[in-house]
């Protein structure tokens, strides 16, 4: 399964340099399939996951969450 996410330029406070930062996203195709299969019940979970953004931004090089966009 393909990883879904966003990538931007940012600054890592751990690496002390400008790097790409990454944030996980929501696999909408998977959640649409689950919503159809459960007759709409899964849509509540899909909404909660989409609003949460799954953990915030992280440095691609070291994995630190101490980043600035």
Predicted local distance difference test score (pLDDT) of residue 13: 93
Ordered by start, the domain boundaries in the chain are 5-68
- Hey, what are 64's tokens? 């630190």
In angstroms, the CA 58 to CA 49 distance is 18
What single string gives the DSSP state of each residue in 2-68? ---EEEEEEEETTTTEEEEEEEE---HHHHHHHHHHTTTTHHHHHHHHHHH-TT--EETTT--S-EE
pLDDT in tens, 2-55: 456 788 899 999 989 999 998 887 788 999 999 999 999 999 998 888 777 556
This prediction has a pTM of 0.60
């Amino acid at each position: 399964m393909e990883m879904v996410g966003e990538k931007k330029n940012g600054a890592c406070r751990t690496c002390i340099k400008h790097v790409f930062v990454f944030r996980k996203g929501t696999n909408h195709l998977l959640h649409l399939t689950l919503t159809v299969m459960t007759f709409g019940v899964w849509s509540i979970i899909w909404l909660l996951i989409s609003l949460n953004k799954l953990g915030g931004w992280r440095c691609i090089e070291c994995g630190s969450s101490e980043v600035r966009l």
